[in-house]
């Protein structure tokens, strides 16, 4: 099997497991009424962790955009290109 397909299958499997655990943790208060040993504090973490990760990801993207804008040199002026093409007609 191709290496890319192996990585894709692995990513799919890990994502599926995380999704199942997340859904179970999200509905922990409901599950804890039926299964007394289920920890009820998981519902808070099911909301807090994704929100935290989303905020961090958004801030990292903003920092990356800022860094790119800071370190990228300004583009060449367009007037020079327009003048050179009008002087030499095809």
Whether pTM exceeds 0.85: no
Q: Tokens for 78, please give them.
A: 């367009």
Structural domain boundaries, residue 75: 3-87
- Tell me the average pLDDT across 49-54: 86
- Tell me the average pLDDT across 2-15: 86
Q: Which residues in 39-49 are b (16+ Cβ under 10 Å) and which e? A: eeebbeebeee
Domains of the chain: total: 1
- Tell me the average pLDDT across 37-59: 78
**Residue whose structure tokens are 């290496």:** 3
pLDDT at residue number 62: 87
pLDDT at residue number 39: 65
């Amino acid at each position: 099997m191709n290496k890319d397909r192996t990585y894709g299958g692995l990513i799919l499997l890990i994502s599926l497991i995380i999704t199942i655990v997340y859904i179970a943790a999200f509905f922990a208060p409901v599950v804890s009424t039926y299964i007394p040993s289920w920890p009820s504090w998981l519902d808070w973490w099911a909301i807090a962790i994704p929100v935290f990760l989303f905020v961090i990801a958004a801030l990292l993207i903003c920092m990356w955009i800022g860094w790119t804008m800071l370190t990228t040199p300004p583009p060449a002026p367009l007037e020079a290109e327009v003048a050179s093409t009008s002087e030499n007609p095809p």
